[in-house]
Structure 1
Amino acid sequence: MSRRTGIRMLLRRALLPVLAALLAVVGLPGCSTGPDRPHVVVTTNILGDITRRIVGDEARVQVLMKPNADPHSFGLSATEAAALEQADLVVFNGLGLEENVLRHVDNARKSGVPTLEVGAAVDPLAYGAGQGDAGQQDPHFWTDPDRVRKATGLIADEVAAHVDGADEPTVRKNAERYRKELAGLSTWMTETFDRIPREHRALVTNHHVFGYLADRFGFRVVGAVIPSGTTLASPSSSDLRSLTRAMDEAGVRTIFADSSRPKKLAEVLRKEMGGDVRVVELYSESLTGKGGGAATYLAMMRANTRAMAGGLTA
């Protein structure tokens, strides 16, 4: 336990009786969402959904990234930045994903807040040759449900170690239940993808985001419209020509574009190839709101699997 966490525990134990007395005096009922409640801050909404499944009702989980946002470009308000430094635990993707938020996470860590960089702890892969960021570690680990299963255990460990007031047996039970759901998801994805002929398992996407899925389930990554791991990069005309040639050589006629990003570039590439290319939407880097098709990580992965299988076999 860190010195900062120990001080927080002592303060809470000292202040809880005082708070209870004040509530009794003013006639207000006790509230589990008060200042004494443990507080976990998560940067991305994908990790936020995963963390909520693990934590359950044992702590308040604050997710900074809104639905349908881009993790590479979303920013924080002053209040949200301050929340990072007041948290009991900060869970973030890392490996450069949250480009406008990582400095705030670093400030929280320097101030003594426990932080977990999930991407760096789940055996990250490096981008391959021709992906614009070759040699750098790929942050998009969540496209592999088996790595998310590993992440689930790591998050549970950190909650148990640093979130005072969270019941460890309950957290462990939640994590184990979720791990079983993830194992079921991985099995179902394998069975679904096995129905796609090997020669058709070729991916072209908006940017390089499905490397982990390709590695886990036996796909080839032909290329990306934006030849980078970030949406903040832009393709040149030579990049588009190179991708067009690669798609022709591979016999690929489907481009998978993120549903939260403009599809203009993918549409341009389709026109360059004679209009006989399909553009299929996926939920690659962000969850949606309720009713949007991918409100949870499990729903997102099932929707993507169906869309990919349909797009590569039609």
Structure 2
Amino acid sequence: MRAARTAGARTAAARTAAARTAGAALVCALVAGLTTSCTGSAGDRPAIVVTTNILGDVTRNVVGDQADVTVLMKANADPHSFGVSARQAAEIEQADLVVYNGLGLEENVLRHVDAAESSGVPTVAVGERTDPLPYASGGTKGEPDPHFWTDPQRVEAAAELLGEEVAKHVDGVDKKAVKAHAAAYGKKLDGLHSWMRKRFGEIPEEERNLVTNHHVFGYLAERYHFRVIGAVIPSGTTLASPSAADLESLSSAIEKARTPAIFVDSSQPDRLAKVLKEESDLEVRVIPLFSESLTPKGEGAATYLQMMRANTKAIADGLKTLKNP
């Protein structure tokens, strides 16, 4: 009898130990999703973290299957105002490489990038290394413009840069494969540039005038010879607000240039553009563009190439003269 009780006690103890082991494994798996695994290894594949979804798409094309690429900014988000969760902040700190736009674009995320860089994580500020332009007007005049991606030739330079940085800093990748991916994507970007130049070339130069919801197309204007008449929000960030005098001045500029359209970001409300149109009695159309964020699949701009082709068509069609609406 005593032997039976002893055997039973041993069996119960074994079951308890097994349950504890299973429970510990479950906790470990859950924690691994937030930080690192309980063994201290985050996995065999290199990890690259990218702040914006536009840069995320470019990075994925360059990296291919050589590393895991995590993009922090969701589709249709505003890069000026999006933030990160505690889990995402941890991913930044544990990355093999952090890719970000820089030039003040990701206003709520840059402190996390700076913290990761201070702790030894390699980072690359792509916008700062693609020959940035200054804002030409508005409240941010003279400051560096972060919206370099509206120029596909600068994005081509960015893709080459990313290939070099990944090969330099990320262990475990096939450097030749990354270089080949960057070159192949570069050819697609060069093809995009040629197509955009031809499409915009169909617009008479005197009609290449742009009015946007904020200053975002300076690089496109410089590359394809457009003139930026003004912006509803005379700033490089969507977080600013226009005054009545700003709207009045913009209305006068639109009337003088006979601009038939105002282009607003698809992720931003177009209320101010409509107010400007109504209060000034301007005969202009309010046309959405995908200027600062990609969309989910199937919504028109799931990749950078799709976004730029959609925007080029929208701008070209929108700038038809009022005689040919």
TM-score normalized with structure 2 length: 0.85
CA–CA separation in structure 2 for the residues paired with 1:111 and 1:290: 36
1:115-138 residue CA offsets vs partner (Å, 9 max, x unmatched): 000000000000013x21011000
3-state SS of 1:174 partner: helix
1:43 maps to 2:51: yes
3-state SS of 2:319 partner: helix
Amino acid at match of 2:93: E
> Which range moves more in the overlay, 176-185 or 270-279?
270-279
Instruction: State the Cα distance separating 1:34 from its structure 2 match.
Output: 6.3
1:272 maps to 2:276: no
CA RMSD of aligned residues (A): 1.0
1:262 maps to 2:272: no
CA–CA separation in structure 1 for the residues paired with 2:42 and 2:120: 22
Amino acid at match of 2:284: V
CA–CA separation in structure 1 for the residues paired with 2:164 and 2:135: 29
Q: Which runs of 4+ in 1 moved over 4 A?
A: none
> Residue 133 of structure 1 corresponds to which residue in structure 2?
140
In structure 2, list runs of 5 or more residues that go unmatched. Answer: 1-40
TM-score normalized with structure 1 length: 0.88
Amino acid at match of 2:260: R
CA–CA separation in structure 2 for the residues paired with 1:275 and 1:51: 42
3-state SS of 1:71 partner: coil
1:296 maps to 2:303: yes
Instruction: State the Cα distance separating 1:273 from its structure 2 match.
Output: 2.5
CA–CA separation in structure 2 for the residues paired with 1:254 and 1:225: 12
1:62-119 residue CA offsets vs partner (Å, 9 max, x unmatched): 0000000000000000110111110000000000000000010000000000000000
> Residue 211 of structure 2 corresponds to which residue in structure 1?
204
Maintained 8 Å contact 2:255/2:282:
no
CA–CA separation in structure 2 for the residues paired with 1:293 and 1:94: 26
Amino acid at match of 1:306: K
1:125-158 residue CA offsets vs partner (Å, 9 max, x unmatched): 00013x2101100000000000000000110001
CA–CA separation in structure 1 for the residues paired with 2:244 and 2:260: 20
CA–CA separation in structure 1 for the residues paired with 2:259 and 2:280: 11
1:97 maps to 2:105: yes
> Residue 147 of structure 1 corresponds to which residue in structure 2?
154
Number of residues paired by the alignment?
A: 281
64, 84, 105: which one pairs with 1:76? 84
3-state SS of 2:198 partner: helix
1:216-265 residue CA offsets vs partner (Å, 9 max, x unmatched): 00000000000000000000111000100111111112100111110100
In structure 1, list runs of 5 or more residues that go unmatched. Answer: 1-32
Matches within 5 A, 1:122-201: 122-129=130-137, 131-201=138-208
> Residue 283 of structure 1 corresponds to which residue in structure 2?
290
Maintained 8 Å contact 2:46/2:68:
yes
Instruction: State the Cα distance separating 1:42 from its structure 2 match.
Output: 0.1
> Residue 10 of structure 1 corresponds to which residue in structure 2?
none
CA–CA separation in structure 2 for the residues paired with 1:135 and 1:312: 28
CA–CA separation in structure 2 for the residues paired with 1:311 and 1:251: 13
Between the two proteins, what is the percent identity of the paired residues? 63
Maintained 8 Å contact 2:75/2:296:
yes
Maintained 8 Å contact 2:48/2:98:
yes
1:237 maps to 2:244: yes
48, 65, 70: which one pairs with 2:73? 65
3-state SS of 1:61 partner: strand
CA–CA separation in structure 1 for the residues paired with 2:44 and 2:121: 16
CA–CA separation in structure 2 for the residues paired with 1:293 and 1:210: 19
CA–CA separation in structure 2 for the residues paired with 1:169 and 1:119: 25
Amino acid at match of 2:118: K
1:154-211 residue CA offsets vs partner (Å, 9 max, x unmatched): 1000100111111101100000000000000000000000000111100000000000
